[in-house]
């Protein structure tokens, strides 16, 4: 409620962008008077020095975020930092360069020997992960523009039932897997294509993108950080790293006295409550162990089913590739083969490639999807298998703690803790 | 104001502003949805009008209409843009009021909430979660599997070279396929090409690495005399409208059954004329749901097979719009003894062997045609000739009968047309003669090369060219009737605009040209001079074309009356038997028999 003013300003701002995006869609007139449309120009790439500046600022924000949340324990500080990040990496750098999207550059570089990855992108990919490995997801707290735009708009968060969270928690893995598959086959950078907030940062974008962005932000008023929790593929990697973090933030500055005051404080349901010994009878324990072993044994089955299923969906998945799409379009509608009004066809005709070459390449891509589908499906099967198995693992816990993987280190919970650290 | 009234007031403000915001948001969404649905920027009306303008580009009225539609579309667009903008500001304003009221109320009401007691049972939570995870995993993988069944792999249906057109095919190495040709008895009066029937055709087969001297496919091609024996094409042998059959009946009555050997009702509508090979008669029909080719025993009327033309790559999911007087099965099929070939208004071209096995099929591209595609197929020398003039441009196409490959595919400047090609041998070459707006064109059958063209036609051309001794006759309503010299670059010999045919194609024999109009006049001209020899007016008009058999003109009018008239300068009416139902297709002749397609039935007539 504190930041209601700028929340509203932001909201109205989005609506205005929406209007703006709409107004630009009118097609240019066809001139008969001989007027020539000026040809578009490509902007210069960003200079090296400025790229290093980006790296520097990322490093600084990560360090500052970690310091603010772990040492200074200042939610206010983290908030201001995230506003800066939103302005700099969001609105000034227009959401690109971005650690979340860098997954795809890394993948493409691994699979396509011709594709050269810049050192900046590599650092953007690695640095937040390294920080997460030591300090938790401080990147999400103060250095990610996508996280920042959602975090500022957390209004009346409601607690989401565990089972919903668990089930939705599978989506980021799916998204990550698909993003890697599409990047590895050189098909598309889907994380960037479906980035819901970049339209705001650039104050332009397809109508549907803006609508989805607005919908997500509206949803975020109640379901805090929906993109981070249900979609973000980079979040998967950060989550893994953060689980090992030694210096992760804590709710209490000293000893947790289990006063329960912090319990409702996390908008993201990331606080784990104490689990006492007594819920478990011997019988239950035995049953759990049985289930645990059964599901552990089933993991390879999940992997096989996943691999088979995803691989057999390769026809559908590969349709997103330009060559596959174009080949199928032309096979299905041969009458379009010289339709220069269709920009894709025009581009193909101008490329001088023959149709046979196009179809051959499309078939190759499709074959890649078939084999890649086995890996993706196997990975997803593994993930779901482990997730299910984990539902039968219980650890005794006596204090209130953030879940190291899920916690965004935003620092909200700290203010709720009545314990004071004695100097 | 005390706390109580303040809260009351705030509550009202919150309710009103929230309702206001919801209303505005709703209106904005409705506006967006409307724009999406009607999409004035891509108005179909304008597109249709522009297409019409392409055909008829001097029409000032049409231009004005397009401009006013365009203005309307722009107005609609900008009005909506204004609405969106205003709505956005209103929403913003409402949002600010709502937020302020909310904030003040929360500030007033703020109090420390006691922590909730833990009601969650972590065990239970995990147990429920594991179930939902099972559901999620199952769902994702099932959807993936389902997609495997539902998605169509078009790449598999591609055969290399499918898109090779003339320029590229000349660069591809080709293998000559030598058809087995049996020695042919030369008929008296037959010219070289006709008697050798159908010379070995070099059929283009893309080099696939096989030894160059091993033919890929060996197809036995029919001879000219076989084609003469069977009315296998629209307007018979070479599409010239002349039958070589004997003992053609002249007397029947469809309603009482006199001389009707058999009559069957047809399962699907179509304007195509039946074609015959040997003992088999083929007919095509189509409606919105499916397109079929049927084969009957022509002696007994027994249905031998009926096959659907379906699952053709590129075939549109919903067939293009056609008018009722054209439909989707207007083109007449063609048969060459090996296969029967059918073309439908969807652009689907399909080959069945005579036993009904599907040999190949392809889509030529959905024809843009405001009535429906109607140009019939003709086959000669291992090629199917397709005249494919659509509103998006014209094409002349030759397709390999053996495998459906393009032999050549040539774009041309003609506008959309409904006429069919006629073949004519001239100077040792087999020419394809086609009539469309603006050009009558002669193409070499072997190479597709344009031999000559003559810009004498205009309008929506439906009648096909007639032929007599190297003279070509074309006609169209609102244009003229012209005789062209095929040996002399299509030079005009004579022309008249006295009687013009709208649909029926002219036919010529014995130095006489017969022309039928859609308002019921049959006229006979001197083929050399264009002099009117005789004319007869009948009560019903003609869509079907005159055919010549045993020196008589057979022409059936729209009411189903066949007018049989001597094909000479006297024009004596021989007989006028009635079918008893409307008829648009041509009579099909076989020795001693005549087959007539009525609107819904097929008749075999024999005396
Ligand atoms: S979860 Fe993803 S999007 Fe959200 S803050 Fe972290 S990296 Fe950014
Ligand atoms: S820092 Fe606290 S409030 Fe923020 S995500 Fe972590 S547990 Fe939740």
Mean pLDDT for the stretch of residues A256-277: 87
In 3D space, the residue among B436, B321, B314 whose CA is nearest the CA of residue B375 turns out to be: B436
Closest in B81, B133, B154 to A332, CB measured: B154
Asked if A92 and A222 sit in the same domain, the reply is: yes
Asked if B95 and A330 come within 8 Å (Cβ–Cβ), the reply is no
Say if strands B471-475 and B466-468 run parallel, antiparallel, or are unpaired: antiparallel
Q: Are B198 and B380 in contact (CB under 8 A)?
A: yes
pLDDT over threshold 70, residue A402: yes
What is the helix (H) or strand (E) element at residue A229, kind and residue range? Answer: helix A226-230
A11 falls in which pLDDT band (50, 70, 90)? low
Q: Are residues A75 and A172 in the same domain?
A: yes
In a domain, A21, yes or no: no
Give the count of domains, chain A: 2
Q: What's the rounded Cα separation, in Å, for the pair B214 and B234?
A: 36
Which percentage of chain A shows pLDDT scores above 90? Answer: 58
Q: What is the average pLDDT across B194-203?
A: 46
Flag whether pLDDT at A21 surpasses 60: no
Residue A394 vs residue A413, higher pLDDT: A413
Residues with Cβ within 8 Å of residue B542, at least 6 apart in sequence: B503, B504, B516, B517, B518, B520, B522, B555, B556, B557, B558
pLDDT above 70 (res A18): no
Per-residue pLDDT tens over the stretch B430-486: 999 999 988 999 999 998 988 999 999 988 899 999 999 889 999 988 889 999 999
Contacts of B31 (CB under 8 A, 6+ apart): B80, B83, B84, B87
Whether A77 and A197 map to the same domain: the answer is: yes
Query: Residue A68: inside a domain, yes or no?
Result: yes
pLDDT digits (tens, 9 = 90+) for B94-153: 887 887 788 678 767 755 555 555 556 777 888 899 999 999 999 999 999 999 888 888
Answer yes or no: is pLDDT of B166 > 90.
Answer: no
Of residues B289 and B207, more confidently modeled: B289
Taking a C-beta distance cutoff of 8 angstroms, is the pair B441, B429 a contact? no
Please indicate, yes or no, whether residues A250 and A116 belong to a single structural domain of this protein: yes
- What is the per-residue pLDDT for A31? 59
pTM: 0.54
Q: Which of A72, A261, A402, A415 maximizes ligand 2 atoms within 8 Å of its Cβ, making it the mutation to test the pocket?
A: A402
Same domain, A289 and A249: no
Q: Does one domain contain both A312 and A213?
A: no
- Do residue A91 and residue A157 come from a single domain? yes
Residue A69: is its pLDDT beyond 70? yes
Residue A209 lies in a domain: yes
> How far away, in angstroms, is A124 Cα from ligand 2 center?
24
Q: In this model, does residue A63 exceed pLDDT 90?
A: yes
| pLDDT computed for residue B607 by the predictor | 84
The Cα of A398 is separated from the nearest Cα of chain B by a number of Å equal to: 14
Q: Which residue has the higher pLDDT, B44 or B7?
A: B7
Residue nearest ligand 2's atom 7 by CA? A402
pLDDT tens profile B231-283: 999 999 999 999 999 889 999 998 888 899 999 988 888 999 999 999 999 99
The ligand minimizing its distance to the Cα of A225 is 1
- Cβ proximity of A28 and A37 under 8 Å: yes
As a whole number of angstroms, the distance between CA B522 and CA B582 comes to 18
Q: Looking at ligand 2, which atom is closest to the CA of residue A410?
A: 4
Select the residue of B132, B136, B147 nearest A313 (Cβ to Cβ).
B147
B125 touches chain A (CB under 8 A): yes
Average pLDDT, chain A: 87
Residue A101 shares a structural domain with residue A245: yes
Which of A103, A200, A197, A88 shows the shortest CA–CA distance to A142?
A88
Q: Is the pLDDT of residue B196 over 60?
A: no
Which of residues A263 and A279 earns the better pLDDT score?
A263
pLDDT band at B161 (very low <50, low <70, confident <90, very high): low
Question: CA–CA separation, A291 vs B133, rounded Å?
Answer: 14
Same domain, A65 and A169: yes
SS3 state of residue A413: helix
Query: CB under 8 Å to A290, separation ≥6 — which residues?
Result: none
pLDDT at position B222: 83
In a domain, A162, yes or no: yes
Q: Is B121 on the interface with A (CB under 8 A)?
A: yes
Peptide bond into B438 cis (omega under 30): yes
Model pLDDT, residue A423: 63
B99 vs A4, A162, A394: nearest CB: A4
Residue A278 burial (CB < 10 Å; 0-12/13-18/19+)? exposed
Give the residue, by CA position, lying nearest to ligand 2 atom 3: A266
| Residues written for chain B | 607
Q: Over pLDDT 90: what percentage of chain B?
A: 43
What pLDDT is stored for residue B167 in this prediction?
Answer: 39
Task: Specify the residue with its C-alpha closest to ligand 1, atom 6.
Answer: A140
* Residue in chain B nearest A370 by alpha carbon: B148
Q: Answer yes or no: is A7 within a domain.
A: no
A191 and A320, same domain (yes or no): no
Q: Which atom of ligand 2 is nearest to the CA of A408?
A: 5
- What's the pLDDT score for residue B171? 37
Inter-chain Cβ pairs, chain A and chain B, closer than 8 A: 193
Closest by CA to B513, choosing from B558, B459, B463, is B463
The reported pLDDT for the residue numbered B118 is 53
Residues at CB less than 6 angstroms from ligand 1: A 100, 139-140, 144, 146-147, 227-228, 232, 234-235, 238
A39: in domain = no
The answer, yes or no, to whether residue B29 has pLDDT greater than 70, is yes
Pocket test for ligand 1, best of A79, A89, A96, A140 (most atoms within 8 A of CB): A140
Give CA separation, B72 vs B33, B50, B151, B572, in Å. 19, 15, 41, 61
Q: Residue A411 Cα, ligand 2 centroid: separation in angstroms?
A: 5
What's the confidence (pLDDT) of residue A353?
A: 82
Least confident of A295-299, B340-344, B435-439: B435-439
Say whether the ipTM exceeds 0.90.
no
Out of B107, B136, B147, whose CB is closest to A316? B147
A42-56, B155-169, B560-574: the lowest-pLDDT one? B155-169
Amino acid B343: pLDDT: 95
Q: Are residues A285 and A244 in the same domain?
A: no
List all residues 6 or more positions away from A180 whose beta carbon is below 8 Å from its beta carbon.
A103, A104, A107, A376
Please check whether residue A402 lies inside any domain of the structure.
no
Q: Which residues pair with B265 in a beta bridge?
A: B601
Confidence at residue B200, expressed as pLDDT on a 0 to 100 scale: 42
Residue A277, pLDDT score: 64
Same domain as A214, residue A246? yes
Query: Rounded to an integer, what distance in angstroms lies between the CA atom of residue B445 and that of residue B453?
Result: 15
Of B266, B479, B503, residue with least CA distance to B374: B503
- What percentage of chain A exceeds 70 in pLDDT? 90
- Rounded to whole angstroms, how far apart are CA atoms A201 and A190? 18
Residue B174's pLDDT is 38
How large is the average pLDDT for residues B559-582?
Answer: 91
pLDDT averaged over every residue in chain B:
84
pLDDT at B306 over 70: yes
Least confident residue range of A129-133, B214-218, B403-407: B214-218
- From chain B, the residues in CB contact with A386 under 8 A are none
Going B248 to B254 to B260 to B262, the CA torsion angle's sign is: positive
CA of A149 to the centre of ligand 2 (A): 17
The distance in angstroms from the start CA to the end CA of chain A is: 33
On whether residue A35 sits in a domain, the answer given is no
Quote the domain boundaries for residue A207: 50-256+409-416
List all residues 6 or more positions away from A409 whose beta carbon is below 8 Å from its beta carbon: A65, A69, A78, A135, A136, A137, A138, A140, A141, A248, A249, A402
Does the pLDDT value for residue B164 go beyond 70?
Answer: no
């Amino acid at each position: 409620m504190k930041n209601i003013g700028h929340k509203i300003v932001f909201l109205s701002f989005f609506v205005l962008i929406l209007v703006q995006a709409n107004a630009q869609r009118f097609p240019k007139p066809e001139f008969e008077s001989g007027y020539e449309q000026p040809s578009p120009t490509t902007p210069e790439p960003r200079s090296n020095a400025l790229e290093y500046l980006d790296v520097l600022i990322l490093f600084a924000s990560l360090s500052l975020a970690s310091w603010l949340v772990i040492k200074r324990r200042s939610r206010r500080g983290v908030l201001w930092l995230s506003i800066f990040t939103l302005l700099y990496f969001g609105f000034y750098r227009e959401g690109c360069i971005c650690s979340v999207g860098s997954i795809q550059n890394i993948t493409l570089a691994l699979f396509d020997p011709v594709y050269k990855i810049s050192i900046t992108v590599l650092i953007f990919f690695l640095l937040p992960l390294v920080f997460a490995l030591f300090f938790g997801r401080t990147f999400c707290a103060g250095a990610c523009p996508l996280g920042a735009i959602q975090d500022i708009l957390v209004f009346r968060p409601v607690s989401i039932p565990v089972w919903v969270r668990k089930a939705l928690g599978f989506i980021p893995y799916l998204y990550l897997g698909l993003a890697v598959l599409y990047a590895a086959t050189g098909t598309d950078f889907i994380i960037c294509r479906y980035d819901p907030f970049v339209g705001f940062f650039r104050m332009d974008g397809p109508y549907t993108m803006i609508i989805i962005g607005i919908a997500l932000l509206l949803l975020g008023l109640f379901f805090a950080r929906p993109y981070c929790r249900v979609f973000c593929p980079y979040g998967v990697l950060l989550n893994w790293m953060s689980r090992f973090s030694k210096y992760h933030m804590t709710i209490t500055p000293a000893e947790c006295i289990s006063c329960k005051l912090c319990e409702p404080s996390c908008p993201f349901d990331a606080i784990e409550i104490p689990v006492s010994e007594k819920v478990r009878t011997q019988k239950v324990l035995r049953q759990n162990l049985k289930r645990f072993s059964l599901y552990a044994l089933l993991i390879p089955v999940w992997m096989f089913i996943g691999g088979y299923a995803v691989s057999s969906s390769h026809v559908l998945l590969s349709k997103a590739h330009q060559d596959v799409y174009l080949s199928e379009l032309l096979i299905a509608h041969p009458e379009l083969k010289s339709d220069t009004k269709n920009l894709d066809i025009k581009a193909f005709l101008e490329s001088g490639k023959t149709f046979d070459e196009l179809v051959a390449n499309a078939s190759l891509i499709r074959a890649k999807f078939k084999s890649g589908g086995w890996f993706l499906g196997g990975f997803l099967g593994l993930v779901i298998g482990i997730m299910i198995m984990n539902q039968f693992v219980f650890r005794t816990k006596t204090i209130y703690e953030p879940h190291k993987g899920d916690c965004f280190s935003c620092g909200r919970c700290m203010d709720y803790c009545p314990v004071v650290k004695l100097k | 104001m005390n706390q109580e009234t303040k809260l009351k007031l705030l509550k009202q403000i919150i309710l009103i502003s929230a309702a206001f915001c919801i209303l505005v948001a709703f209106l904005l969404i409705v506006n967006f949805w409307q724009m999406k649905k009607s999409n004035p920027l891509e108005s179909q009306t304008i597109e249709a009008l522009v297409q019409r303008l392409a055909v008829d580009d001097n029409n000032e009225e049409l231009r004005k209409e397009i401009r006013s539609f365009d203005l309307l579309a722009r107005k609609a667009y900008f009005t909506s843009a204004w609405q969106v903008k205003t709505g956005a500001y209103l929403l913003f304003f409402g949002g600010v009021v709502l937020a302020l009221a909310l904030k003040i109320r929360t500030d007033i009401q703020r109090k420390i909430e006691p922590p909730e007691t833990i009601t969650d049972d972590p065990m239970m939570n995990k147990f429920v979660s594991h179930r939902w995870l099972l559901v999620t995993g199952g769902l994702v993988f099932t959807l993936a599997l389902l997609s495997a069944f539902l998605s169509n792999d078009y790449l598999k249906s591609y055969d290399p070279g499918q898109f090779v057109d003339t320029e590229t095919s000349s660069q591809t190495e080709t293998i000559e396929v030598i058809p087995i040709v049996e020695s042919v008895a030369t008929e008296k009066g037959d010219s070289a090409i006709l008697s050798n029937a159908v010379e070995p055709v070099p059929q283009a087969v893309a080099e696939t690495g096989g030894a160059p001297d091993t033919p890929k496919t060996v197809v036995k091609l029919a001879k000219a005399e076989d084609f003469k024996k069977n009315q296998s094409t629209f307007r018979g042998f070479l599409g010239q409208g002349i039958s070589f059959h004997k003992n053609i009946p002249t007397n029947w009555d469809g309603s009482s059954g006199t001389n009707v050997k058999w009559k069957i009702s047809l399962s699907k509508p179509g304007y195509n004329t039946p074609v015959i090979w040997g003992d088999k008669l083929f007919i095509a029909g189509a409606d919105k749901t499916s397109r079929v080719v049927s084969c009957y025993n022509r002696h007994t009327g027994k249905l031998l097979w009926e096959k659907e033309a379906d699952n053709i790559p590129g075939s549109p999911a919903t067939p293009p719009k056609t008018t009722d007087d054209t439909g989707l099965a207007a083109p007449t099929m063609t048969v060459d003894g090996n296969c029967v070939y059918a073309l439908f208004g969807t652009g689907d071209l399909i080959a069945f062997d005579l036993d009904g096995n599907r040999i190949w099929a392809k889509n030529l591209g959905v024809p843009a045609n405001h009535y429906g595609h109607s140009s019939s197929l003709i086959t000669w020398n291992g090629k199917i000739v397709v005249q494919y003039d659509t509103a998006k441009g014209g094409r002349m196409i030759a397709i390999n009968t053996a495998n459906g490959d393009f032999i050549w595919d040539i774009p041309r400047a003609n506008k959309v047309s409904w006429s069919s090609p006629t073949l004519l041998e001239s100077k040792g070459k087999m020419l394809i003669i086609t009539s469309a707006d603006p050009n009558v064109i002669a193409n070499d059958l072997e190479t597709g090369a344009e031999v000559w063209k003559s810009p004498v036609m205009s309008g929506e051309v439906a009648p096909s060219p007639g032929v007599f001794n190297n003279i070509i006759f074309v006609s169209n309503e609102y244009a003229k009737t012209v005789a062209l010299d095929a040996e002399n670059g299509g030079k005009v010999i004579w022309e008249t605009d006295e009687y013009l045919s709208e649909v029926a194609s002219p036919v010529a024999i014995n130095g006489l040209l017969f022309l039928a109009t859609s308002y019921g006049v049959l006229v006979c001209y001197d083929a050399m001079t264009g002099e009117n020899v005789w004319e007869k007016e009948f009560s019903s008009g003609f869509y079907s074309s005159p055919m010549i058999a045993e020196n008589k003109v057979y022409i059936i009018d729209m009411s189903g009356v066949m007018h049989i008239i001597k094909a000479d300068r006297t024009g004596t009416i021989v007989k006028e038997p009635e079918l008893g139902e409307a008829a648009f297709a041509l009579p099909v002749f076989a020795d001693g028999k005549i087959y007539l397609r009525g609107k819904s039935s097929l008749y075999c007539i024999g005396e």
